[in-house]
């Protein structure tokens, strides 16, 4: 009670700096959002003669709505290069006899179109190379290929440095080395333990499992391949994507304006697990 009585008339917290200094801080931080508190403190001390600590400068700075570098993060890179970027990933599926099948999918980021899909029980780096050869051609070849750090891609353990045309390139797996030195595609491995860095193909894998694979009991690997191939045709040609608000690669009849009236018809997909709805005469 004694000490509370002695300190009750004293202002609490650090003293407020002059209003003129606050205006200086807000002016500089508003003109240069990329400047930090240390830079502003040194600017004021060297040129204006105002001395304040970095924590005080931070208190009166104009709030930032983006990072100091702007918004040049991973999401920005993918969005800016979506038309020339593909992503690939594996999905595992068991048969009735507990054989493990690996579904390999390659997706075009911009259109969400599934470029290539295949199924195998023995995925190797040679098999993956063959799938990429089949997916690429004279008329379609991405600039970047995003993938995870699966051991199938031939992880090198530590980055390997290669010199070519007076430039040094770093490769984290054998697949990236083959893509860059042979095919001319830049492999982009996502960080370790960060599947959200490749969300588009990961989300498709969930869609494939929930809308097709989880509804069937598979007898053989060929059975899985037939089901996946039929679903991919439906996904590319008739299933609207919420991400692009459209169909990745619509069927020719869906590229035309729909009829104004008619009877709603449901075309079965995978024996009726999914339906393709149209207006018929």
Asked if residues 260 and 253 have their Cβ atoms less than 8 Å apart, the reply is: no
Sequence-distant (6+) residues with CB within 8 A of 234 are 269, 270, 274, 276
Each residue's pLDDT tens digit, 84-134: 999 999 999 999 999 999 999 999 999 999 999 999 999 999 999 999 999
pLDDT tier at 204 (50, 70, 90 boundaries)? very high
Q: Where are the domains of the chain?
A: 14-71, 76-252
- The answer to whether the pTM exceeds 0.85 is no
Average pLDDT (24-29) is: 92
Answer whether residue 25 shows pLDDT above 80: yes
Residue 75 reports pLDDT greater than 60: yes
Q: Give the CATH fold of the 76-252 domain.
A: Nucleotidyltransferase; domain 5 (3.30.420)
Which structure tokens are listed for 260? 């104004």
- How many Cα atoms within 13 Å fall on the side-chain side of residue 68? 6
With CA atoms as reference, report the closest residue to 180 among 193, 198, 195, 161: 161
pLDDT category, 63, cuts 50, 70, 90? confident
- Residue 80: name the closest of 89, 72, 88 by CA: 72
Cβ pair 108, 86 in contact under 8 A: yes
CA–CA distance, 91 with 101 (Å, rounded to integer): 8
Q: Are 257 and 128 in contact (CB under 8 A)?
A: no
Q: For the segment 121-157, what is each residue's pLDDT rounded down to a tens digit? A: 999 999 999 999 999 976 778 999 999 999 999 988 7
């Amino acid at each position: 009670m004694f000490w509370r009585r002695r300190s009750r008339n004293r202002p609490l917290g650090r003293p407020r700096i002059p209003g003129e200094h606050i205006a200086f801080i807000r002016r500089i931080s508003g003109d240069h959002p990329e400047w930090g508190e240390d830079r502003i403190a040194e600017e004021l001390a060297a040129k204006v003669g105002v001395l304040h600590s970095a924590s005080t400068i931070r208190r009166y700075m104009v709030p930032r709505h983006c990072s100091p570098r702007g918004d040049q993060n991973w999401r920005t890179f993918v969005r800016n290069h979506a038309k020339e970027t593909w992503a690939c990933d594996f999905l595992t599926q068991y048969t009735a006899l507990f054989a493990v099948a690996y579904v390999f999918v390659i997706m075009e980021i911009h259109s969400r179109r599934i470029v290539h899909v295949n199924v195998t029980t023995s995925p190797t780096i040679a098999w993956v190379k063959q799938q990429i050869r089949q997916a690429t051609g004279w008329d379609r070849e991405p600039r970047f290929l995003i993938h995870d750090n699966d051991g199938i891609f031939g992880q090198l353990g530590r980055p390997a440095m290669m010199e070519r045309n007076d430039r040094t390139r770093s490769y984290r797996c054998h697949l990236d080395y083959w893509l860059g030195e042979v095919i001319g595609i830049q492999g982009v491995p996502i960080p370790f333990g960060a599947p959200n860095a490749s969300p588009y193909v990961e989300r498709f894998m969930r869609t494939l499992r929930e809308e097709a694979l989880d509804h069937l009991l598979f007898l053989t690997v060929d059975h899985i391949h037939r089901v996946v191939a039929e679903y991919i045709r439906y996904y590319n040609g008739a299933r609207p994507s919420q991400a692009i608000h459209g169909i990745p690669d619509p069927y020719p009849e869906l590229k035309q304006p729909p009829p104004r009236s008619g009877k709603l018809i449901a075309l079965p997909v995978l024996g009726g697990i999914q339906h393709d709805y149209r207006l018929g005469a």
